[in-house]
Structure 1
Amino acid sequence: MTIRILPPPGAPRRLAAAQLSNSVGDGAYYVCSALYFTRVVGLSPAQIGLGLTIAWAIGSVAGVPLGALADRRGPRGTSVVLAVATAASVCSFLVIRSFWALLAAVVVYATAQCGLAAARQALLAGLVAPGERTGVLAHLQAVLNGGLAVGAALGGLALGIGTERAYLAVFALDAVAFLLCAGVLLRLPAVAPTADRNAGEPRLAVLRDRPYALVTLLNAILLLRMPLLSLAIPLWIVERTQAPGWLVSALFVLNTVAVMLFQVRTARPVTDLDSARRAVRVSGLVMAASCAVFAVSALPRAGWAAAALLVAGAVLQVDAEMRQSAGSWQIGFELAPAERMGQYQGFFGTGVPVARTLGPLVLTSLLLLWGIPGWLFLGALLLAASYAMGPAVRRAGASRTGGGAAEAAVRS
């Protein structure tokens, strides 16, 4: 079996280069940022958590108007500006010494990141044929994971050194990475702005598109799995199982490598709404099974047996993740009107900051307070959302066929 991580030459490969650049910087930043602001700046974990929660909440709202801006002004130029804004916000971390300065910086960071995600999706839609978009996104996801792994290793070196200069070097690396990302995006072909909105159409038509909103809500529920690997599962291993602590790192490596190697292959059969619905439905079944396996890992048993169950649960979890990602990419693109791609992608992408904002609280409450019943409830919730996605997608597709999703929403 031949494994190809990089997409075909041309625009897809340049998009991958931009993705690789900023993901390396982000990987280093994610590893070091919290410890820098606590150990060097002197902020409390509660202050950092509050600042990030506020920032990602604002960013999730800002993604829609920034996506609409990409539609009106062109996604390439908007992406470049937002990548530079992200670099500037990271540079400001070098001089932050108070909570309010941190809050201002992370609000700019989260807003620019959410807008950049929407604008880049619109740029990809303008440069890649509809039937190839999910496949290209699978390549980009594989590249993203590889970049995050490299960045995390560099961040680990900074943590090992432990000095203020080492932390500041990580922030400088992240800022330079986003400037490189902006440079790569600038070399892509320009995508023409879409026409102005029709008379009587609201400025942000996606906010009136109820079928698409339902699909977005269900996708946000499915994305609650995102903090599992970084937060919930490590705490579960340490507090509820007899497995060794080093397994936390091993499961992270397993997930990263699996996505790098198999995301493209998993996404290959997803080419239309029917195959996307099937992928999401199967992902719900696999995720429910994963939650059940994680749950029983807490039952009294030897450490090696708990570790084996945790590895099995992680394998099922990454399989579900790859299927759900592929299905959701196809759904998010195919249900969005071509002339409103930026704002629709900005709205659909709110599931990511919502998961980052609410996911830690929801998952720690469910899993660490409820234990095994919490895992079973989470599995049932994700299974229900995956099965509900099918009817929701059919409804949204029918409204689009009947005159376009945005127009149908306006008439309603």
Structure 2
Amino acid sequence: MGAALGGLALHAGTRSAYLAVFALDAAFLGCAPVLGRLPAVAPAPAPSGGGPGLAVLRDRPYALLALLNALMLRMTLLSLALPLWIVERAAAPGWTVSALLVLNTVVVMLCQVRAARSATDLATAVRAVRWSGAVMCAACAVFAFSGAPEGGHGAGAGGAVAVLVLGAVLQVLAEMRHSAGSWQIGSALAPADRIGQYQGFYGSGVPVARAFGPLLVTPLLIGRGVPGWLLLGGVFLVAGAATGPAVRWADTAR
């Protein structure tokens, strides 16, 4: 719903429309008193048996998997790279940004559970991540073709929207498969007595990607254009392919 309302503001393109977006966003402060009414939860007991407090930092194969997971910058691609590309370099209208976000949200809500059913162990999870890397590479190649031709946007707008939608469909399919495989890997390789510590470390790749992803994708895509998209696709392809050997290393170390 937020993405759809944002699309209306982008379509209007006025100061009042953008200020209205800020006002609506500020309304989410109303969530604070609701969350404040949640009951307090007692902390979990410390794991028995001693050992280092942050054992996950000594687990090199697991740390490598967390790094590879962070390299799959799917969130940065959807929330930053594509909007900048559409506004700065593509022939599509600005409201396409919101349309792609709505498309992604609807597909994930309808299909994520079904997409996750095939990732039931480490072998199937590795295949899911490897497939995701290849499809994300293809999506990047498709996005690259939505760039505006020399001389303006006019005639190429409809074609650019179609290309962006095709790329977004590939992207969301890869996203769902990667999420399923990634969840399985992060959980299955975490020791039962330190599941919270390991899961927290593995999941930290998402905020790390959000924090440092813009430093990579902004100059790469906006500055380099089509070659930047192809290079980013190569990163996804390599990260997905490297997950298999990293999982075998981690599984052997267990």
Shorter-chain TM band = 0.7 to 0.9
Please point out which of 170, 188, 203 is paired with 1:334.
188
Residues in 1 aligned to 2:226 and 2:209: alpha-carbon distance in whole angstroms:
22
Judged with a 3 Å threshold, the aligned counterparts in structure 2 of structure 1 residues 333 and 217 are, in CA distance, closer, same or farther, namely same
Find the residue that maps to 1:302 and give its secondary structure: helix
Q: How big is the shift at 1:195?
A: 3.2
Identity %: 59
Q: How big is the shift at 1:239?
A: 1.3
What is the aligned partner in structure 1 of residue 28 from structure 2? 170
What is the aligned partner in structure 2 of residue 206 from structure 1? 56
**Residue-by-residue CA offset, 1:224-249 (whole Å, 9 max, x unaligned):** 22111211111111211211111111
Task: Tell me which stretches of 4 or more aligned residues in structure 1 moved more than 4 Å.
Answer: 149-154, 156-159
What TM-score do you get using the length of structure 1 for normalisation?
0.54
Kept in 2, the 8 Å contact 1:158–1:170? The answer is no
Written as runs of structure 1 = structure 2, the 5 A alignment for 1:4-403 is 149=1, 159-160=19-20, 169-171=27-29, 173-179=30-36, 182-183=38-39, 193=45, 195-198=47-50, 201-222=51-72, 224-298=73-147, 300=149, 302-400=156-254
What is the aligned partner in structure 1 of residue 12 from structure 2? none
Judged with a 3 Å threshold, the aligned counterparts in structure 2 of structure 1 residues 211 and 282 are, in CA distance, closer, same or farther, namely same
Judged with a 3 Å threshold, the aligned counterparts in structure 2 of structure 1 residues 316 and 214 are, in CA distance, closer, same or farther, namely same
Judged with a 3 Å threshold, the aligned counterparts in structure 2 of structure 1 residues 286 and 151 are, in CA distance, closer, same or farther, namely closer
Kept in 2, the 8 Å contact 1:197–1:203? The answer is no
Residues in 1 aligned to 2:222 and 2:3: alpha-carbon distance in whole angstroms:
30
Residues in 1 aligned to 2:93 and 2:214: alpha-carbon distance in whole angstroms:
23
What is the aligned partner in structure 2 of residue 17 from structure 1? none
Any unmatched runs of 5+ in structure 1?
A: 1-148, 401-412
What value does the CA root-mean-square deviation take over the aligned residues? 2.5
Kept in 2, the 8 Å contact 1:159–1:167? The answer is no
Kept in 1, the 8 Å contact 2:65–2:246? The answer is yes
Q: How big is the shift at 1:299?
A: 5.6
Judged with a 3 Å threshold, the aligned counterparts in structure 2 of structure 1 residues 384 and 264 are, in CA distance, closer, same or farther, namely same
Find the residue that maps to 2:118 and give its secondary structure: coil
Kept in 2, the 8 Å contact 1:226–1:359? The answer is no
Kept in 1, the 8 Å contact 2:62–2:250? The answer is yes
Judged with a 3 Å threshold, the aligned counterparts in structure 2 of structure 1 residues 295 and 167 are, in CA distance, closer, same or farther, namely closer
Judged with a 3 Å threshold, the aligned counterparts in structure 2 of structure 1 residues 245 and 395 are, in CA distance, closer, same or farther, namely same
**Residue-by-residue CA offset, 1:386-408 (whole Å, 9 max, x unaligned):** 000000001101111xxxxxxxx
Kept in 1, the 8 Å contact 2:3–2:98? The answer is no
**Residue-by-residue CA offset, 1:99-148 (whole Å, 9 max, x unaligned):** xxxxxxxxxxxxxxxxxxxxxxxxxxxxxxxxxxxxxxxxxxxxxxxxxx
Residues in 2 aligned to 1:192 and 1:261: alpha-carbon distance in whole angstroms:
34
Q: How big is the shift at 1:216?
A: 0.8
What TM-score do you get using the length of structure 2 for normalisation?
0.86
Q: How big is the shift at 1:153?
A: 5.8
Any unmatched runs of 5+ in structure 2?
A: 10-16, 150-154
Kept in 2, the 8 Å contact 1:211–1:395? The answer is yes
What is the aligned partner in structure 1 of residue 152 from structure 2? none
Judged with a 3 Å threshold, the aligned counterparts in structure 2 of structure 1 residues 390 and 244 are, in CA distance, closer, same or farther, namely same
Greater mean alpha carbon deviation, residues 329-338 or residues 354-363: 354-363
The structure whose RCO (Cα within 8 Å, separation 6+) is larger is 2
**Residue-by-residue CA offset, 1:276-311 (whole Å, 9 max, x unaligned):** 000000001110000000011116362111110000
Find the residue that maps to 2:246 and give its secondary structure: helix
Q: How many residues align?
A: 240
Residues in 2 aligned to 1:158 and 1:371: alpha-carbon distance in whole angstroms:
28
Kept in 1, the 8 Å contact 2:91–2:148? The answer is no
